[in-house]
Structure 1
């Protein structure tokens, strides 16, 4: 029984699989690690750092907006779940002109 061709096939499949997964990671923007765990790709540049700052700012703004929407939703839920008599009274007090 000859093991040489079987071992060569297994090694070839392993190498091709490694190349394919590395290609997929690069194609989809995942960082690649070197032998000692250092990042090889993508490199961080001034442009990338500026983009990170802009995204961080936008993230903060969106979180603030989400907080205000949650507050508004809580008020709507309170109005919907209140009994109708109390709600009617509050609406009528708001309709009366203030002197």
Structure 2
């Protein structure tokens, strides 16, 4: 039948194997945590940069509204007028009917 004497060497070999496996699992978990922390810090820096850009844009908009009053509609119309000038061309129109005489 079964002899208990065989159990002692099996346990003696099993304990170091389990200890090595547990140590390896801890190292893997630590590496995953470190990678997650690094990725999270990178994302936080990107978000902080985007937030700063948006805050700067909001400050500019606030300055436009408060410094110049509510003249925004006039400014928009002025931009539209500029586009019309650019679309139609600028400068002196050429008179193509008169040709040069040599």
TM-score class normalised by the smaller sequence: 0.3 to 0.5
TM-score, normalised with respect to structure 1? 0.47
Larger radius of gyration: 2
More strand by percentage: 1
TM-score, normalised with respect to structure 2? 0.46
More RCO (CA 8 Å, sep 6+) = 1
More helix by percentage: 2
